Amino acid sequence: MNQIYPFCKTIFLFLLLAVSCTAIRAQACTPQGDETTPGSNNVWRGYVYQGRTFNTYKGFVTEGNATNPNFDQNFGGDQVNYATNGCSIYTDDFSVRYKLTKTFANADYTITVGADDGVRLSIDGGVTWLIDNWGDHSYYTSTNIIRLNGTYNLVLEYYEAYGGNRVSFSIAQECLGDGDPSVYGTGNIWRAYLYQGKNFDVYKGYRTEGTSINPNFDESFGGPYVNYATSNCSIYTENFSARYRLQKTLPLGTYIFTIGGDDGYRLSLDGGNTWVIDKWQDQGYNITSYTAVLSGLRNIVLEYYENGGENRISFDMNSSNTLPVTLRSWSATQLSTGKTQLNWKITDAVNFDHFLVQRSTNGQNFESIQTIAAINGNSSAEQSYTTIDPVLFSSTVYYRLAMVDKDGTTKYSSILTVNANSNSTAVKIYPTIVQNNNVYIETSSRNSNGVIELFDMNGRLLQTENYVSGGRRQFTLKGANTAGAYLLRVRAGNEILAKQTLLVQ
């Protein structure tokens, strides 16, 4: 018994010493800092807590330096002690709240925040979160481009659950493009304005597309996930957009526009007011075509955005359907005999051979009913032609001209519609080349509910006027504000009496 007592006494003294040392260490560990004061001059104040929801305050640290607030911190590694101005924390199940008050010049900035695990960033003292990835996850980054101007209270909050730990912050003033993004390219050469962000967010600069003889192009931006240079700043070929502008005067003719894109694309022929092609959605590369008879000055706008993965935008304007001769007029008149008389005039024939007069009963499938040789296949002088369709029809009939070059190339005119119903009213519209905005409409019988309608070649109604048919009357083209091709339609109720393409000079 006496032998056991000295041993127990020794154990007791050892335990007392250990408790005393622990008490001494606890008294020496006092957290510093008030948990609220922000850093300044690009140096963050980071308030550190044991527990992932800012549970037990342990002390503060600093990040950044006098010239740069950016930092990347891994806390010395996984499952180690990380020193603060106060007490150390164990690098599992901890959190940090970084604060910085900073003044920014008026500019756009790219802010990138990364973490393993949760992280969130506020620029208004923690009221709202500009970036919010508050959840368990391995290290990844989030980026936001924002315009800043003035003094902001930045708060960056971070927590680590277990395993790997890391938090990073970087901010850089954006390189911005100069020049005016509303200016159009000319002479077949587009002005292409590039933006970071798929909604034309941050303008970076411009490029050109097309050549002096051809506006067509096919652009893949050097591939996905690369830097694509502009006149000022590069864009990263992920999550970006482009707006192409070209002002072009089109001679009267039929044009086929073919647009391809991966992802969204859309085409306007009136400066972006309306979209004749609209495929504004995420998609793999595909193409869409639009065909129209056009003439005159056009403000062509092609818009594109890329969301993820591959990128490509292409433009093709096929004017091979432009008339090989200048068709100055083209009209159809129903005679009192019920037959249809076709009249047309041309100029500027070069290596031209003959016409095929074609007819259709459905407006889609045409057959050739007459071949008419060119009066002169090489002449700039005006040439007049007329022919009569000898077949009588009791329903609507459609006509077009196929114009054939000496090399066999065939082009087509616009389609004329003649309502050949026995009860219809013969209508004549002239002249077809309009110099003073006045045309004449003649009808052979009286109709009390007539309507005259003027359309542009995109099908938009520009002008409408009621009239009582019978005889000859003058009609002023008030809606034809610019030179070019227009369509005039005469109807009685739901019955279309005549349609005529007019060239306004």
More reliable by pLDDT, 436 or 26? 436
**pLDDT exceeds 70 at position 428:** yes
Q: Give which of 259, 264, 313 is closest to 287, Cα–Cα.
A: 259
- CA dist., res. 372 & res. 353, Å (int): 9
**Encoded tokens for 172:** 């850089």
**pLDDT exceeds 80 at position 221:** yes
Evaluate whether 357 touches 439 at the Cβ level (below 8 Å).
no
- Residue 364 has a CB neighbour count (10 Å cut-off) of 8
**pLDDT exceeds 60 at position 6:** no
Task: Return the minimum-mean-pLDDT range out of 116-120, 227-231, 389-393.
Answer: 389-393
pLDDT bin (cut points 50, 70, 90) of residue 427 is: confident
pLDDT 10s digits, 230-271:
999 889 898 899 999 999 998 877 788 889 999 999 999 999
Position of tokens 């990364």?
A: 114
pLDDT 10s digits, 89-134:
999 999 999 999 999 998 888 899 999 999 999 999 999 999 999 9
Buried b vs exposed e over 20-41: b needs ≥16 C-beta within 10 Å? Answer: eeeeeeeeeeebebeeeebbee
- CA dist., res. 111 & res. 174, Å (int): 10
pLDDT given at position 304:
97
Give Cβ neighbours of residue 408 (< 8 Å, ≥ 6 apart): none
pLDDT bin (cut points 50, 70, 90) of residue 394 is: low
pLDDT given at position 422:
40
**pLDDT exceeds 90 at position 217:** yes
List the end-to-end C-alpha distance of the chain, in Å, as a whole number: 128
- Residue 87 has a CB neighbour count (10 Å cut-off) of 20
**pLDDT exceeds 80 at position 36:** yes
pLDDT 10s digits, 276-329:
999 999 998 988 889 888 888 999 999 999 988 889 999 988 765 445 677 888
Evaluate whether 190 touches 245 at the Cβ level (below 8 Å).
yes
pLDDT given at position 27:
46
Q: Give which of 244, 205, 201, 260 is closest to 227, Cα–Cα.
A: 205
Q: What percent of the chain has pLDDT over 70?
A: 89
pLDDT bin (cut points 50, 70, 90) of residue 434 is: confident
Q: What is the mean pLDDT of the chain?
A: 86
- CA dist., res. 129 & res. 144, Å (int): 11
Mean per-residue pLDDT, 478-486: 86
pLDDT given at position 140:
87
β-bridge partners, 488: 454, 500
More reliable by pLDDT, 182 or 426? 182
Q: Give which of 73, 235, 75 is closest to 168, Cα–Cα.
A: 73
pLDDT bin (cut points 50, 70, 90) of residue 423 is: very low
β-bridge partners, 122: 155
**Would the pTM of this model clear 0.85, i.e. be above it?**
no
pLDDT given at position 494:
65
Mean per-residue pLDDT, 384-405: 86
Rounded alpha-carbon distances, angstroms, from residue 58 to 29, 91, 116, 475: 9, 12, 21, 88
- CA dist., res. 120 & res. 140, Å (int): 12
Which contacts (CB < 8 Å, 24+ apart) does range 466-474 have?
A: 467/441, 469/425, 469/427, 469/443, 469/445, 469/497, 470/443, 470/445, 470/446, 471/442, 471/443, 472/440, 472/441, 472/442, 473/440, 473/441, 474/438, 474/439, 474/440
**Encoded tokens for 45:** 């104040």
**pLDDT exceeds 70 at position 445:** no
**pLDDT exceeds 70 at position 12:** no
Vertex 374 angle, CA 391 and 434, to 5°: 80
**pLDDT exceeds 70 at position 165:** yes
